[in-house]
Structure 1
């Protein structure tokens, strides 16, 4: 049993994956710049500064709000478990939307121009692989909401990932010509999510399976959109959105994701 698998089974305890090699995780986060198409993107890199060995890399793709504190906290959690986590900047210059209308405009612009979006992701992946803290042989991507849709399309595009994990992701297909993908795809969704069209989700899963992916869709009873984000209830009230945090679904999906990362990256 891998150390990450053991940590997952113990719950959300922040134990390092490589506990016998270091005294304990010292999570450090920093701005991580990379460029493509003449633009600079400002991601957030989190790692265990107490660990000198190269570790697997995990790309995180933010919700439609942009690279905010929520996705940075997720990167920190992964760093505490022994991964090197890069929360990417899909909008450029670290922009964060201040209103749902702005968030919708930002995210729609990205998904309507998949070649440019892919170029940004490839630039981030290349920069992450070149980081001396990273074992570039194995890499996964995790996305939330808008970001979940991005990572599903990364798998559809056949990008070099061992796993693509979506939390309450939008299953909009942005890739014109799906490619072969032999990695793991895990899609964690809420049964009561009114912002995810069930047929679109089924179609996405079927297309991924047709192209070779090992796909698993998990629906959490009673869970609404953004069920992993503790800020969801505040955002729902502030902007009249059908969002809600669900602690049980959050915990269960996170443990499932850790098991998937262990299977994909630590074998």
Structure 2
């Protein structure tokens, strides 16, 4: 049975000066619970990201949907999303700086246990949490859905604390199976605990029920896949339970 939850917005500032607004959800609990940041697709901190945070809270986690663009900006236009995303690539430190600020904001919430933290991310947000893990952040687990996998800099042995789960669509034309192979090689070289799940028949954006609508409106190769969504979420919750329970 889903837990009763509470939600609120949290304003925080990154080291680069960006004013960010996260969406926080947590179960009604007498004691702090494990925390999870939710990094958004390139569309920004929208209702989809907030929905995932609420679901995590209903499963017993304190979740913060983080803001990567500032002022909780979001869009339904691929051109605008691409512009905003590329702005975070201009300085190679921006992504980790802003994601770290989100993780710190989550850890400071009284509902969250700062010793039990994880991160999940979708599409662009998958890259965000992978780069955060590569930076040595204090994460126990990272799960990504149709993520961009190329690193800012390859993971170094001993840096990544998290167990990593990557979930990828076999028909993803934006992140190829060659990219997946390169990611696996990177993780193996750095001796990172990791698993990659490939979903047959799934395209980029498979976890988002609005993917087909966004694809049609923007002329981009996205596609929702209900089976892949369900299987990937089940795998994510299994990872979180395993990593954050002890």
Which bin holds the TM-score, normalised by the shorter protein?
over 0.9
What is the CA-CA distance between 1:83 and the residue it aligns to? 0.2
3-state SS, counterpart of residue 189 of structure 1: strand
8 Å contact from structure 1 (residues 57, 134) kept in 2: yes
Q: Distance in 2 between matches of 1:79 and 1:177?
A: 30
Please give the per-residue CA displacement for 1:138-176, whole angstroms capped at 9, x wherever unaligned: 111000000011112122222211111110001121136
8 Å contact from structure 2 (residues 117, 244) kept in 1: yes
Tell me whether 1:148 sits opposite 2:148 in the alignment: no
Aligned residues: 244
In the alignment, which of 180, 185, 191 is matched to residue 170 of structure 2? 191
Q: Cα gap change, 1:154/1:38 in structure 2, threshold over 3 Å: closer, same or farther?
A: closer
Greater than 6 Å deviation, 4+ residue runs = none
- Aligned counterparts, 1:48-63, within 5 A: 48=27, 50-63=28-41
Q: Which residue of 2 aligns with 1:86?
A: 64
RMSD of aligned residue pairs (Cα, Å):
1.5
Q: Distance in 1 between matches of 2:200 and 2:119?
A: 25
Q: Which residue of 2 aligns with 1:71?
A: 49
Please give the per-residue CA displacement for 1:77-134, whole angstroms capped at 9, x wherever unaligned: 0000110000000001111134111111111221342312212122211121111111
Q: Which residue of 2 aligns with 1:253?
A: 232
Please give the per-residue CA displacement for 1:184-215, whole angstroms capped at 9, x wherever unaligned: 10000000111112222221222123223111
Q: Which residue of 2 aligns with 1:116?
A: 94
Structure 2, unmatched stretches of 5+, are none
What is the CA-CA distance between 1:34 and the residue it aligns to? 0.7
Structure 1, unmatched stretches of 5+, are 1-14, 17-24
